[in-house]
Every structure is written in C-alpha cells, then in structure tokens.
Structure 1
C-alpha cells in the first residue's frame, strides 16, 4: 500500500514537471533567438522539479542555475521564471524560505543584468518579484496548513487514546467491584455450608455412624464451589494474563494433568489482543479438561502460520459425540473473544472420543 502510494506521488510529480517544462518550451518556440543550449537548460531546470519532495534544496539550486543561465544567454519573457517560481514555492513549504528568497534574488538579478537600463526589463523584474513573493507566501501557508493538519490528527489520536484508557479504567473498576460483591456475598455463605457439612461428617465418623452420600456430596460440592469462586475472583482482579500458554501447561502438569505441548512455525510477538485471547483459550480448554475429562491425556498445539495463529487442544476423555455438552460460560466467552478478532472457533466432542478445541486467530488483529 505504501509503495503504491509513493509510486503514484512520483508519477504525479513527474507529470507536473513535464507540464511546466512543456509550457516554458512552448513559449520559447516563438522566440527566434532561442538556441539549442537554451532548450537544454529549460528541460534540465523543469524536469528537476520531479524530485522536489525528496531534495527540495537540490532542485532549487539546479532549477535556478539552469534558468538563470537561460535568461542570461537569451532575454526571454517572464514565463521563463515559472520553474524557478515552483522551486521557490516548494523550498518555502519545506521550511527553507530564506534559501528560496536568495534563489529568487539570484534569478531576478540575472534577469535584470540582461538589460538594466530598459524600462521593459525593470517592469518585468518587478512583476517577477511579485510572483516570487507569492511563491514564498503560499509555500509558508502550505507548510502551516500541513502542520495544523498533523497537530489536529495528533490531538484526535490523543483523544482516542484517552477515551480508551478511561474505558479500560472503568472496566477495571467494574471488575474489582464485581469481585468484591462476589467475595462478600458468596464466599461467606459457601464457607458456612462447607464448614457445616464438614462438622456433620466429622461427628458421624466420631460416632461410628454411616455417612450419608448426600452429605459427602454437599461437602465435596462446597469445596469445588470455593475453588471455582477463588479462580473467578482471581480472573476478575487480573487485568491481563500473567504468563504464556507454556506456563499454563506447566501448571496443569504440576496439578496432575497429563499435558503435551507442541509449537510449530516461527514464534513471534503477538498483538496484545491476540496474545490475551490465545492465553485465555488454552487456559479455558485446560480447565475444562481437568474438570470434565477425567484421567485423560491432553495435547496442546500452537501453530504460527502466515498471518494466523492456530490453537488446538485435544483430550481423550469421556466426552461422547452423541451427547454434546451444553455450551457454558467458559466456551461462550472463548467464542466471543475469537469472534471479536475475526477468527474461528470449533469446540465439540471428537468422533474417536474426548473433546477438541480448535481456534484460528488472525495475527494482524489489534
């Protein structure tokens, strides 16, 4: 995209230089005193304007020297100053107004030197001086306008960044508020239920009585609820993922889950949103495998491709393709993350048994 734009700009500059040269040469055709060397000077001075974006001072020097030589050799009309006027304008627009004014004085001095006593020459020099003054003024005006546009764009970007920071700050404050509410409202109640169930189980064992299965189920469910609540509160209090998919695999292994990690393709830094989504996908897939797959083996695959990151987490657990599980909050959140990045997600039981999570994330997402 940038290369095409630069090529179009160069072609436009070259076309403008050719147009100016054509005007000067066409006007010189009607002058019988024009020699071949004059045409060469006009062509050199005009075509040099094609490079005014890259080397405005060099273009000004070449154009001024060529056209001044032309007017000293043959006393042409005011149109001979057109390439120099354009070069002075571009020099002033790039911040070299003093150099542009000096080049204007050199050309005007050369024009006046051809016949300083002629009234017609003096009037033409006065007219050309007005042209050069306009060229300097319009160049400065164009420079100020470009600076204003850049400043406006910078302010817009700064305002957008400030709005994003404010939104992130409000989202963080809301997460902390939700975490506090959950902690205050649920942690105490679940702890009481777990404690009461534990006391009842202890007393039953102490008296030698048979422990009701429902009581054991309540005790186990209370412990699981506390663990899930702590994990949820940790996520709510954490703004960004603290780690990598490899670290998640190591944690899962330490917790007793049999996990293998395979990474293919050249690893490279990812955009923040893609990195966060990849982390959460692997995290949720490993959490689901630990909760629902039973004593299963899990394979985590990360493939860095051309413009995409492929994530695959397979387990050989108890999932049955004839009875697909209902999509809970974890899978829903995973799907929302992938969809927001323009990727794809497939999460379902495998035909050979177990569960599979496959995601494709575009690496260009920001």
Structure 2
C-alpha cells in the first residue's frame, strides 16, 4: 500500500520530541548509582536516550526485532559485485531457514528476525517470509532511475507498516538489516548525492572486489549521478533515482520506529544510507537512531559523520544483514541491567564524593 500524497508529512507529525522528563529521571537514577558520574560512558548515554525515546525512565526493551529488507539491483548488470545477483534470493532463503550470521547473532540476543521481500528478482515462497514485493528489482541506475517516486513511497510504506505491526505486539527495539547483491553501489551514490562526498571517498569494495573493479565501480556511480541528476534538496527524488527498494523499505522502518516511540539501531553502510535519507525526509527521527558500529566499507565513516551519528563499536565488520546492529542489542540489555540492578549509594551504604 502506497503512502498517501501527504504521507511523509503525516509520519513526521507523529514523531514526537524525546521526553525530557523521562531523561531527567533516568539521569537522576544513573547519578545515584555506586560509580563516579558518567563513568559508564555510552551505556549511560543509551540509557538516557532510551528513556527519552520511550517516555519511560526504566523502559522494557526485551522485545527486539531485526527487519531484513531484501531487494535486487539492476546496476548489477554493470559487474560491480564479486557475487552474482542470484545470491540475493538464495540468501533470503538462508535467513528464513535460520542459517545466516544475523540469525545466529539474533538468537544469541533474544531477537526476532523478520525477512521482507520488497524487491527480490525471483518468486519466493516460504511460510516465514513477509512478501511485500513492489517490483522485481530496481532499474540500472547507471542508465536511468532505480524506481519511480511512487514506488519509493510504496517501499517506505512497507517498512512503516512492518514496524507498526510489530510495535502493536510490544516490540520496542528495531534493527535495520538488508540483503541485496550490489547494494553498496546505490548506497555510495546516495552518499555522494546527499552528503557531498567525492566518489572516491564514498565508493568501497563492497563484497571484496579487486582494484580494477573498484575503479569501474566508481565510474558506474559517476555515470549514475550524471544519468539521473537527482535534486539534493529533495531526498525522495534522490532515493527514487539512485537508491534501492530495500533501502527505501529501511527508510520506512526508521520513520516507523520513531513514530512509535521505539529505538532503531542502525547497522552498516547500506542501513546508514537509509538513515541518511530518513533524516533528510524527517529530521525529527534522528534522536531515535542509535549507530551500532563503524563498518570497514570505505564511505561508512563519512556517512555517519554526515548523519551526525557516533558508532558504539568498531569491530572491522562489513557483512551487513543487520549483524552489527543485532550485536549491539547486548549493550542495550547491559544498560537496562545497570539501571535496574546496580546498587545506589544509599542502598549500599557507600559514601558519595
């Protein structure tokens, strides 16, 4: 179902500022614990942020989900990936059968994996698949637009609706995951178009391409920018012309999480491209984002800086799927346990400075 003409505005109107009262109460709790003020660093920061997002000083973040959006890319015709496009549907089935890295890490974190076919260029059938196909892959961005503006809106709507359904069931934490062979190329194009980085700064090795193919990939991104001439002041135009269906779906996930007062943990380069677009469409969603890690992908550091996010960890990861974001679920759990289980100076009989 496509978003109505005023859909983005209506979503923006549902995104409320963080609850300052809840954040103040969370800070007071942190300051009462048996430790020097601020000594737990990012664990304290995320505890305050979670309170502001949910409006609860001690929120229950036990229900967590990683939403893996899957879609194919016409730009694979240009030979920009070390893997063939056929890997996308094969990996979707791997997710659904529980065999991918994100499945392993999600099981360890007690999180649900929700796999969405939003644009895979294959007919997929599985009882666990959320089938929301907009079209069978995008157009080749080196020659024309990835999709129409209406298709981009429809893909955003899919992400929003998936979050809305899960939030209605009590999920409070969402991670952005993706699968789509070739998707570092549109992500790099989005970064150049919206972030102003140079092509050589934004384009990386993706699945592990060699030097010759890296130079070719950069030229493909430059051709895509020239062929589409997207308006940098219109993020939806940039997304439609240069993005991917799974990226657009993740834009909807991020906006949906913010509209439902839920945390959204951003994974790597492709997920951050979605976060960049979401932040331009609705700046109100930015405080609801948590950057999980800094990927080894070439442009990810610049992408995070452009958005204004600081990653929690740097683990030399570059897999995608939502793996880095799910790994950071453990830090959210740790922050919650600190808030609930750590003794206060008063209860422990410890003198304060």
TM-score tier by shorter-chain length is under 0.3
Relative to the length of structure 2, the TM-score reads 0.20
Q: Which has the larger radius of gyration?
A: 1
